[in-house]
Amino acid sequence: MIARRKLLLGGAGALALGVGSCSTRRWWLSREPAAPPPVDPQGRALWVNWSGLEHAYPARRLAPASEAELAAALPQAPAPVRPVGSGHSFTALVPTDGTLLSLDRIAGLVSHDARANTATVRAGTRLSALGELLAGVGQEMPNLPDINKQTLAGALSTGTHGTGKGIKALHGEVTALRLVLPDGKIAECSRDQRPELFHAARVGLGAFGVLSAVTLQNQPLVRVRKVVKLVDTDWILREWPALAEQHRNAEFLVLPFTGKSALITHDPTFDPVKPRGPDADSSTLMDLKRLRDLFEFTPDLRRRAAQQAMHGLPAEVAVDEGWKLLSNERPDRFKEMEYHLPIERQVEVLREVIRRIETDAKDVFFPIEARIIAPDDAWLSPFYNRESGSIAVHAWYREAHDWMFRLIEPVFREAGGRPHWGKLHSLGAAELGALYPMFSEAQAMRKSVDPAGRMMNPFVRKLFG
């Protein structure tokens, strides 16, 4: 997000300070959600995901220190066995009252091939640690998501992606996997070895076994120039196809009710390093919230005040290695729905999403995010055989998000969108089967590796049928 403390604090922004958030109605609507008890009546400790939307009281918690330990423990572990990464998925993929399995101790670089630019990495490695490990051997992942707190296994398992014309999601660069199957056997898979399991488990939702190691096709380290600038939303909606072609990585965040968007680009450069400044996204976001609090029922004033405060803001520029710039801190918790649409429908759908929010969801203040992702061939990849334009909507963790399902999801679905597996959606096996050409093959493969359904919690069961 465009990150300027100055953003709404000058000019009309000052109006918003103090007064805005005081109304009783807003206080009531934005109050802290009730926290589940830290321990259940059986004395089991609470697990809660990042957004606070999902929680569970697992009977067992396992954190094996090696693949061999994992393989020995898995067949005996009380079901449902659910692998957990860093708990950053919004959907109920992880909750279990059986076994919660963390790979936090199975992390780090196993080996690398300097000539081929490949690296084999233990699956519990966090993306934040991986950036530095790969840089140490002169490599980087071709792309990264908006944050780097995820584990590699967790990110791959839900089809986590960044943005860029011709650049695949993270799983699109996986060349081999090691998977501990529910019976404790270890499967090595790639395009040549057990290719069907490879195609199913690359985006596997933790339903085909537990990933223990992954081989990645990386690229040599590249220095990039990151530019964040405010533009008119009307302009970017017209120019987006051309902009996506011009930049290595391009995305934009529509700031609803302002007529403005933040365009973020990354391009290779030989410019001298200019490290990124301190992260001010959080204060900008809270400024947008104050504007909403004050002007929710007068959209014209809200737009004019925002535009006055944003007028003349300079672009933000940083130059550094990509792994230091592509991901951000997101200290403010939120809830998110993201669908991946056929690229040719993205702008038209985005226009309708903005229209619906600005007409019927005036309390929204979080940006709407648009990105672009290249096709790949993993069976459960939302990008399976199609170039995609993604659109994501967000709500602050303290505020209602039912509008996403009511107002926005039908638009995504009408356009043939496939939901991000880790973000909010309402689909089950019947709808997913119609969206994924290889869905029944994936269902059959899941059944063959886990006939007793030991890795299925209720949410995963709904997805696979």
Q: How far is the CB of 394 from ligand FAD (least distance, A)?
A: 9
Give the distance between the most distant pair of CA atoms in the chain: 64
Cβ neighbours for 340, distance < 8 A, ≥ 6 positions apart: 373, 382, 383, 388, 389, 390, 417, 418, 419, 420
Alpha-carbon distance 117 to 195, whole Å? 22
Q: How far is the CB of 211 from ligand FAD (least distance, A)?
A: 4
Alpha-carbon distance 453 to 438, whole Å? 20
Q: How far is the CB of 185 from ligand FAD (least distance, A)?
A: 15
Cβ distance to ligand FAD smaller for residue 13 or 389: 389
Contact 55, 46 (CB under 8 A): yes
Cβ distance to ligand FAD smaller for residue 53 or 137: 53
Residues that bind ligand FAD in the complex, under the rule CB under 6 A: 50, 82-89, 93-94, 103, 123, 145-147, 150-151, 153-155, 157-158, 160-161, 204-206, 210-211, 330, 420, 422
Nearest to 340 by CA among 405, 396, 403, 384: 384
Cβ distance to ligand FAD smaller for residue 312 or 465: 465
Q: How far is the CB of 204 from ligand FAD (least distance, A)?
A: 6
Alpha-carbon distance 40 to 108, whole Å? 34
Contact 218, 140 (CB under 8 A): yes
Alpha-carbon distance 82 to 456, whole Å? 8
CB count in 10 Å sphere of residue 400 = 13
Cβ distance to ligand FAD smaller for residue 205 or 306: 205
From the number of C-beta atoms within 10 Å of its C-beta (0-12, 13-18, 19+), residue 321 rates as middle
The SS3 call for residue 333 is coil
Cβ distance to ligand FAD smaller for residue 152 or 319: 152
Cβ distance to ligand FAD smaller for residue 389 or 422: 422
- Which residue reads 């689909």 in tokens? 427
Q: How far is the CB of 233 from ligand FAD (least distance, A)?
A: 21
Alpha-carbon distance 96 to 80, whole Å? 6
Crossing angle between the packed helical segments 233-246 and 346-360, to the nearest 10 degrees = 150
Q: How far is the CB of 161 from ligand FAD (least distance, A)?
A: 4
Cβ distance to ligand FAD smaller for residue 3 or 305: 3
Q: How far is the CB of 426 from ligand FAD (least distance, A)?
A: 17
Q: How far is the CB of 151 from ligand FAD (least distance, A)?
A: 4
Cβ distance to ligand FAD smaller for residue 12 or 374: 374
Contact 179, 201 (CB under 8 A): yes
Q: How far is the CB of 10 from ligand FAD (least distance, A)?
A: 28
Cβ distance to ligand FAD smaller for residue 305 or 455: 455
